[in-house]
Each structure stands twice: as C-alpha cells, then as structure tokens.
C-alpha cells in the first residue's frame, strides 16, 4: 500500500476532545480509520460486472472467471478496484454469477484493499443491464458501471462525473478511440456529445469510437431496464436512451484494452510488464 505524508488541521475544541479521549499511541490509527470510514460512507458506488461466462477466453474460463485472470501479479478486477480507489471510489459492488465464489473468497469485504465490497449474485445470467438492475437496491445516487474484463490507464473519473452531470442525461458512456474497430460496433455522436447511432462492426480495419465498458448512470436508468430477465445495455437500453436524446458520450484517448480473446489477454500481460499498462 502506498503511503503519503500529509497534514490535517483540527479545530481547537475538536483536538482537545480527541486528545482527552484517545491515548497518544492510538491517536494516529484512530484518525486514519475515521478518515477511511468517512470516505467509504460518502464515496460514489461503483458496480463492476463480473458475471459473464467468458466464452471467448475458453478453455481458461472453465475454472476461473475472466475478471480473476491475473495481469502481472493481480487479477484484472483488482487492478480496476485499486485504480478507481486512487480516484476516490471506495464503495464497490461486484455483480457475480459464473464461478462467482472465486471472487467472494478472494476479495471478502474489501478491507484488505482499504475499500468496501458488497456482492450482487445472479442465479441466472441477466446480461449487462440485467445485472445492474439486480443490484438496484444497493445503488443510490449517481453511480458507475465498469465491466470486469477491461483495463485502462488514466481515465479522470471526477471529470467524467462532472461532464455527466453537466449534460443532464440518464447515462454517459465512455468511448475509447481505437485504431482498429473491426472487432467492435462503432458509436456515432453529435456536436453536443449525444450518442445518436450504434453502427455495425466495420468489415475492414478502421479507426473509430467504441464502447469502453465504463458508464456514469443516474438512478432513473432503472426505469429502462425490465426486471428478472436478461437485458443488455448495448442491445436494449442504450439504443432506447439514444432515441430519446438521454445518452451522452465521454471520449477517452489513453490506453484501453477489452480482454475478449486470448490475444487480448496476451497483449495486456505484455503491456503490463513493459510498463505501457500502468
């Protein structure tokens, strides 16, 4: 765990009360724990989707869920949690299904990482949007959705949230700029940043904007997701929101990888050890 030296100013009466109640040898630990608890209570919630079967990564994912596959020395989803924690996200919900017990056993309540982790368990796989609907009672206020099989470098979460709130839509999807979009569907936006169309995969390698698997959402998004059946953001929810002018895009131009096939996994591992993926 990285440590940083800092200073905190206390009102005189609060410091007097603290020194009266807490012995000197326990004072630092008490302050650190109090700050951590406050951060956890007040930070935005982030749901990480970890329940997919990982078909494209078979046979590796017959015994381990894709988000638990190691990149360097940590599982993919641990990289995500630690990266988001650095930007002030301390509250996580892991949506699990396929081999979900691996994640629950490994992460527990998240205390070993200095965060809070809860779980939303799908008895049957519900798709990307259905998994979020399944966790509706655990989400309040603006929240993040992150796919558990992507990795990225420096995405400014605070800037994303500010942009999302300024636009006033139901959801804002992060779009990654890629040089070869032939494996992905393309996304078109207008001058105001609204998503206006989802296009099929180009037949030949071509640059474009693709869904990065990171969304900022308002609770009103639950009105667009039916209960207790498989629903996809990409196929059902986002096209509906786009038609109503309630879906915006945030452009991300740094490193991003979607681990959908063995060659993507090899690339991510290689980039990690080369220092390209940080």
Strand partners, 6: none
Bigger pLDDT: 204 or 234?
234
Q: What is the band of 138 on the pLDDT scale with cuts at 50, 70, 90?
A: very high
What local confidence, expressed as pLDDT, does residue 264 receive?
94
Burial class of 95 by CB neighbour count within 10 A (0 to 12, 13 to 18, 19+): buried
Strand ranges, E, within 10-149:
45-49, 70-71, 74-75, 91-96, 116-121, 143-147
In CATH, what number does 43-274 get? Answer: 3.90.550.10
Whether the Cβ atoms of residue 40 and residue 32 lie closer than 8 Å to each other? no
Looking up tokens 């603290």 gives: 18
- Cα 139 to Cα 14, 81, 162: the distances in Å are 33, 17, 19
User: Is 60 exceeded by the pLDDT of residue 199?
Assistant: yes
Q: How far, in Å, CA of 137 to CA of 120, rounded? A: 10
Bigger pLDDT: 179 or 241?
241
Predicted TM-score (pTM) of this structure: 0.86
Bigger pLDDT: 4 or 78?
78
What would the mean pLDDT of 111-127 be, rounded to a whole number? Answer: 95
Q: What residues does each domain of the chain span?
A: 12-42, 43-274
User: Is 90 exceeded by the pLDDT of residue 240?
Assistant: yes
CA 205 to chain centre: 28
Whether the Cβ atoms of residue 170 and residue 193 lie closer than 8 Å to each other? no
Q: What is the band of 2 on the pLDDT scale with cuts at 50, 70, 90?
A: low
pLDDT digits (tens, 9 = 90+) for 7-43: 777 778 778 878 888 888 888 888 877 776 666 556 7
The DSSP H or E segment spanning 82 is helix 76-85
pLDDT digits (tens, 9 = 90+) for 211-226: 999 999 999 999 999 9
pLDDT digits (tens, 9 = 90+) for 153-183: 989 999 999 999 999 999 999 999 999 888 8
What local confidence, expressed as pLDDT, does residue 11 receive?
79
What would the mean pLDDT of 119-127 be, rounded to a whole number? Answer: 94
């Amino acid at each position: 765990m990285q440590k940083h030296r800092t200073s905190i100013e206390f009102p005189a009466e609060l410091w007097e009360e603290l020194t009266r109640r807490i012995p000197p040898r326990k004072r630092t630990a008490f302050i650190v724990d109090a700050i951590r608890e406050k951060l956890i209570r007040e930070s935005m919630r982030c749901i990480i989707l970890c329940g997919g079967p990982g078909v494209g990564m078979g046979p590796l994912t017959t015994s381990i869920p894709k988000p638990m596959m190691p990149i360097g020395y940590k599982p993919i989803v641990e990289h995500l949690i630690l990266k988001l924690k650095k930007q002030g996200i301390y509250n996580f919900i892991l949506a699990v299904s396929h081999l979900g017990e691996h994640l629950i056993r490994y992460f527990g309540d998240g205390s070993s990482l200095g965060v809070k982790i809860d779980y939303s368990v799908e008895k049957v796989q519900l798709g990307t949007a259905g998994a979020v609907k399944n966790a509706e009672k655990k989400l309040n206020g603006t929240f993040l959705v992150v796919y558990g099989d992507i990795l990225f470098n420096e995405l400014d979460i605070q800037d994303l949230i500010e942009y999302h709130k300024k636009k006033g839509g139901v959801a804002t999807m992060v779009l990654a700029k890629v040089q070869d979009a032939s494996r992905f569907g393309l996304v078109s936006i207008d001058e105001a940043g609204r998503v206006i169309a989802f296009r099929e995969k180009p037949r030949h390698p071509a640059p474009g904007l693709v869904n990065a698997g990171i969304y900022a959402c308002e609770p009103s998004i639950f009105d667009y997701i039916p209960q207790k059946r498989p629903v996809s953001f990409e196929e059902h929810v986002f096209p509906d929101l786009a038609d109503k002018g309630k879906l915006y895009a945030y452009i991300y131009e740094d490193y991003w990888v979607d681990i959908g096939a063995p060659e993507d996994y090899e690339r991510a591992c290689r980039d990690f050890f080369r220092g390209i993926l940080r």
